[in-house]
Chains A and B, each alone.
Chain A
Amino acid sequence: MEPLSTIEIILRILAQLTPTWIALVATFTISMTYKRRLGLYGKLFDSPIGMIGYGLVMFWVFTAIFGAFDLIVTHDALTQVSGMKNKVPGTPLSGAEEADYAYYLLGGDNLARDIFSRVIKGAWVVVQIAPLATLFAFMVGITLGLPAGYYGGRLDTFLSFTANLILAFPVILLFYLLVTPEIVATGIPSYMATVMFVFPIIFVCILLNSRYHTQPKIRTPLLIGVLGVLIWLYLSLISEAGTKVDIVPNWLDGFNVPGGILVVFVSVVFVNSPTVFRIVRGLALDIKTRDYVAAAQTRGEGPWYIMLWEILPNARGPLIVDFCLRVGYTTILLGTLGFFGLGLPPESPDWGSTINEGRKLLSIYLHPALPPALALLSLVLGLNLLADGLREESLKD
């Protein structure tokens, strides 16, 4: 068979991405139709920059999800096909069977794996980890930042000192210290996970308790239900057979996080939380001087109610914008980890590792390194544009 020409490659990739296009068009049509009823999210569709950003982000989210269901990928991301090593984009698959996709759309890497499929699978790694890790970092930052800003005093001094301490570390040094197999063997990342993942539970618990503590009839069953689910999730997440933290019997352990991911997750949350803490603390310091906080204090509301139901909702604008930026930053951090070969297993298709592998042959073969690099660039760009659009729209009110 003849190799594909550039135009054919592009057309075939576009065709391969059909599910993503359908999902994107559906999302945009529905959102545009009902945009007046959707609050800040709907207003996003008034700003062209925000729309482009949202489009880029959703493109990768859909691609990653469909890729995880094996809809878009053409080959297995780990299978090596003999004769396909470092082949240029559009090369026909050597020894193809009936059922196989006949081409390597973006060529093969130095281990003869299909680059197109690896990039799609790599998106799933990012889409799984980045938003969730950022969310956790926000929970930690908010749970510690609100009291630090609201109460001030010793607590604030201590927490701020700790946050600055972590921030004074060069990020890469921190990664090298936390994400090596030796440190994983000591169990430190698992213990850190055990401590850090408590914060979301504390957060939700205080959030609900401060809202409903005057209505015990609603509060007690609600808290029991929510806490039960959360604690089960927490235990399943941190406990893993064969590591230091193995406290839950197997029948109760709902799911296991694949090797390396938990460590990467913990270190990314750890690096992000101090910055979120500083932002939340700053916002809390600013907002606690407002009249409505004084009014709530006069009403006799408890401090946690004021922090979580008066201060936090009024700080949401900057926090949402920062969330988008921070997901992008987390994506960059994940790439950095992959680039230095830390944490994730070496055959993992995530973008950082793929770039790292591809760069070694960069002066001869461009095609293994460029697609993941451009993918990462477009996703982070999308998130930054989205944040920009959100900021502009939220400033308009």
Chain B
Amino acid sequence: MLTFIARRVGVMILTALCLTFVVFFLTNLFPNLEKLAKNQGNQRMTDEQVVQWLENRGYLRAMPVKYGEWLGVLPGFTHEDDNGKITGRCIRGDVAPEAAPRFCGILQGDWGYSTVFKDGVASIVAKRLGLTGWLMLIVMCVMVPGALLIGVLAGMREGSKLDRSLSTASIVTTATPEYVSGVIFIAIFASSAVGLKWFKGTATSAMDDITFANFTLPVLTIALYGMGYIARMTRASMAEVMTAQYIRTARLKGVSFANIVMKHALRNALIAPFTVIMLQFPWLLNGVVIVETLFNYKGFGWTLVQAAGNNDIELLLGVSVVSVFVVLVTQLISDIGYVYLNPRIRIS
């Protein structure tokens, strides 16, 4: 088991390195750098000024060198201008150039500096992740029990009317992407045109204070899309378990139907959905980006859009590291959890 985890962690680190390098490569292509220079400097810079601006900040050096600096395995870039003032990657704010560390990369715990938000990447990511964490938490609290309940109810009597209607409902929810269901929800529950106005159409106020009115719609929008999929998996697994021999035995012994479902079937039926739920996390991340944009909730997904839209290289790298970490860790947990839940699988 330990070697298995060690190997998986090794693959994870390799994946993370490859992914961040890809992001680094794409954001450091010249047209992107030009856009960055014009956003940061001014829009009317001439081509020579752009090159000069980038040169002074060390953007025009070889890609692996810059990547090494970001990682913290190469010393940070420094530049001395005509007046003898030294600026550099590791010299921020009022720190004297001599006092600044030589290395400042992710290995030293320095995530870099966001050019859009004018703040350290680590603090931005931490703050935004906290906001998204709340959203994810409530989504999970709504989605997982809801989906399991629907799946179990549909799967316990396969082919019944309840099964048919619940299955159709789950197909409808999987066919509704967040930007469609969000728009429909806002139209029905929040617009002045229909006039229900039960909830708010934006979640901006939820960043300070989560209330029923401002958080219901975003949570519902994300939960709905994932719910159908988990429910269908649960239904399939439940339906399979219900045809098993030991369920028939229990029924022939005269155990009541409720008891069969609760005590005999449920535990075995929940193994498969566990993996699906864990693998749902990366998908939630997508939903979060759409919903946070739609409802203007300035969390992690919103930050991703801002960073990508403005070519904020270090913030974008920070965001990708976090999201890749989430994806890979959930994969690992789902694999390990599967082994524990299902004694038939042994890792050699």
- Contact of B45 with A by CB under 8 A: no
Cβ 8 A contact of A182, one of B35, B289, B294, B301: B35
- Contact of A173 with B by CB under 8 A: yes
Q: Using Cβ atoms and an 8 Å threshold, which residues of chain B touch A356? A: 179
Taking a contact as CB atoms under 8 Å apart, the answer to whether A172 and B304 are in contact is yes
Q: A152 vs B290: C-alpha distance in the bound complex, in angstroms?
A: 38
- Contact of B109 with A by CB under 8 A: no
Known: A171-B286, A172-B286. 18 other contacts (CB 8 A): A161-B11, A165-B18, A168-B328, A169-B324, A170-B327, A172-B289, A176-B305, A328-B175, A335-B180, A336-B290, A352-B179, A362-B201, A363-B190, A369-B183, A370-B184, A373-B183, A380-B176, A388-B171
- Contact of B323 with A by CB under 8 A: yes
Cβ 8 A contact of A363, one of B14, B18, B172, B186: B186
Q: Using Cβ atoms and an 8 Å threshold, which residues of chain A touch B294? A: 359
Q: A324 vs B186: C-alpha distance in the bound complex, in angstroms?
A: 30
Taking a contact as CB atoms under 8 Å apart, the answer to whether B15 and A168 are in contact is yes
Q: Using Cβ atoms and an 8 Å threshold, which residues of chain B touch A374? A: 180, 184
Q: A355 vs B294: C-alpha distance in the bound complex, in angstroms?
A: 11
Residues of B within 8 A of A (CB): 11, 14-15, 18-19, 22-23, 26-27, 29-32, 34-35, 171-172, 174-177, 179-180, 183-184, 186-187, 190-194, 201, 282, 285-286, 289-290, 293-294, 301, 304-305, 308-309, 311, 316, 319-320, 323-324, 327-328
Taking a contact as CB atoms under 8 Å apart, the answer to whether A339 and B179 are in contact is yes
Taking a contact as CB atoms under 8 Å apart, the answer to whether B183 and A170 are in contact is no
- Contact of A280 with B by CB under 8 A: no
Taking a contact as CB atoms under 8 Å apart, the answer to whether A364 and B323 are in contact is no
With A185-B31, A366-B194, A369-B187: A355-B308 Cβ-Cβ less than 8 Å: no
B309 CB, nearest partner CB in chain A, Å: 7
Q: A364 vs B180: C-alpha distance in the bound complex, in angstroms?
A: 17
Taking a contact as CB atoms under 8 Å apart, the answer to whether B31 and A183 are in contact is yes
B182 CB, nearest partner CB in chain A, Å: 8
Cβ 8 A contact of B180, one of A161, A165, A365, A373: A373
Closest to A164 in B: B15
Q: Using Cβ atoms and an 8 Å threshold, which residues of chain A touch B32? A: 180, 182-183
B151 CB, nearest partner CB in chain A, Å: 16
A354 CB, nearest partner CB in chain B, Å: 11
Q: A374 vs B309: C-alpha distance in the bound complex, in angstroms?
A: 28
Closest to A186 in B: B29
Q: Using Cβ atoms and an 8 Å threshold, which residues of chain B touch A358? A: 183
Cβ 8 A contact of B179, one of A169, A185, A336, A370: A336
B23 CB, nearest partner CB in chain A, Å: 7
- Contact of A245 with B by CB under 8 A: no
Q: A173 vs B324: C-alpha distance in the bound complex, in angstroms?
A: 11
With A177-B27, A182-B29, A363-B192: A170-B282 Cβ-Cβ less than 8 Å: yes
Residues of A within 8 A of B (CB): 161, 164-165, 167-173, 176-178, 180-183, 185-186, 188, 328, 332, 335-336, 339-340, 352, 355-356, 358-359, 362-366, 369-370, 373-374, 376-377, 380-381, 383-385, 388
Cβ 8 A contact of B187, one of A339, A352, A362: A362
Q: A377 vs B185: C-alpha distance in the bound complex, in angstroms?
A: 14
With A362-B191, A363-B201: A355-B180 Cβ-Cβ less than 8 Å: yes
With A164-B15, A182-B35, A381-B175: A362-B29 Cβ-Cβ less than 8 Å: no
With A168-B324, A183-B32: A377-B308 Cβ-Cβ less than 8 Å: no
Q: Using Cβ atoms and an 8 Å threshold, which residues of chain B touch A188? A: 26, 29
Main secondary structure of the interface of A (DSSP, over half): helix
A49 CB, nearest partner CB in chain B, Å: 8
Listed by A's residue number, 30 A-B pairs whose Cβ atoms lie within 8 Å are A167-B327, A170-B323, A172-B286, A173-B23, A173-B304, A173-B308, A173-B316, A173-B320, A177-B23, A182-B32, A182-B34, A182-B311, A328-B175, A355-B183, A359-B179, A359-B183, A362-B186, A362-B191, A362-B201, A363-B193, A363-B201, A366-B191, A366-B193, A370-B184, A370-B187, A380-B177, A381-B175, A381-B176, A384-B175, A385-B171
Closest to B191 in A: A363
Taking a contact as CB atoms under 8 Å apart, the answer to whether A384 and B171 are in contact is yes
Q: A149 vs B19: C-alpha distance in the bound complex, in angstroms?
A: 25
Main secondary structure of the interface of B (DSSP, over half): helix
Closest to B14 in A: A161
A231 CB, nearest partner CB in chain B, Å: 30
B140 CB, nearest partner CB in chain A, Å: 18
Q: A306 vs B269: C-alpha distance in the bound complex, in angstroms?
A: 37
Taking a contact as CB atoms under 8 Å apart, the answer to whether A170 and B285 are in contact is yes
Cβ 8 A contact of B177, one of A167, A181, A335, A383: A335
Taking a contact as CB atoms under 8 Å apart, the answer to whether A376 and B177 are in contact is yes
Q: Using Cβ atoms and an 8 Å threshold, which residues of chain B touch A370? A: 183-184, 187
Question: Looking at B177, B192, B193, B285, which has the most chain A CB atoms within 10 Å of its CB?
Answer: B177
Taking a contact as CB atoms under 8 Å apart, the answer to whether B177 and A336 are in contact is yes
Closest to A178 in B: B26
Q: A355 vs B18: C-alpha distance in the bound complex, in angstroms?
A: 35
Closest to A333 in B: B177
Taking a contact as CB atoms under 8 Å apart, the answer to whether A177 and B308 are in contact is yes
Question: Looking at B175, B193, B285, which has the most chain A CB atoms within 10 Å of its CB?
Answer: B175
With A165-B18, A359-B294, A364-B193: A186-B183 Cβ-Cβ less than 8 Å: no
B25 CB, nearest partner CB in chain A, Å: 9
Q: Using Cβ atoms and an 8 Å threshold, which residues of chain B touch A373? A: 179-180, 183-184
Q: Using Cβ atoms and an 8 Å threshold, which residues of chain B touch A165? A: 15, 18-19
3 smallest CB-CB distances across A and B, nearest first, come from: A176-B308, A182-B31, A381-B175
Q: A182 vs B313: C-alpha distance in the bound complex, in angstroms?
A: 14
Closest to B201 in A: A363
Q: A369 vs B184: C-alpha distance in the bound complex, in angstroms?
A: 9
Q: Using Cβ atoms and an 8 Å threshold, which residues of chain B touch A186? A: 29-31
Q: Using Cβ atoms and an 8 Å threshold, which residues of chain A touch B285? A: 170
Q: A328 vs B228: C-alpha distance in the bound complex, in angstroms?
A: 15
Q: A386 vs B264: C-alpha distance in the bound complex, in angstroms?
A: 34
B44 CB, nearest partner CB in chain A, Å: 18
Closest to A375 in B: B180
Cβ 8 A contact of A377, one of B14, B180, B282: B180
With A363-B186, A366-B194: A355-B179 Cβ-Cβ less than 8 Å: yes
Closest to A369 in B: B183
Q: Using Cβ atoms and an 8 Å threshold, which residues of chain A touch B327? A: 167-168, 170
Closest to B293 in A: A340
Q: Using Cβ atoms and an 8 Å threshold, which residues of chain B touch A376? A: 177, 180
With A165-B18, A177-B308, A364-B191: A170-B289 Cβ-Cβ less than 8 Å: yes
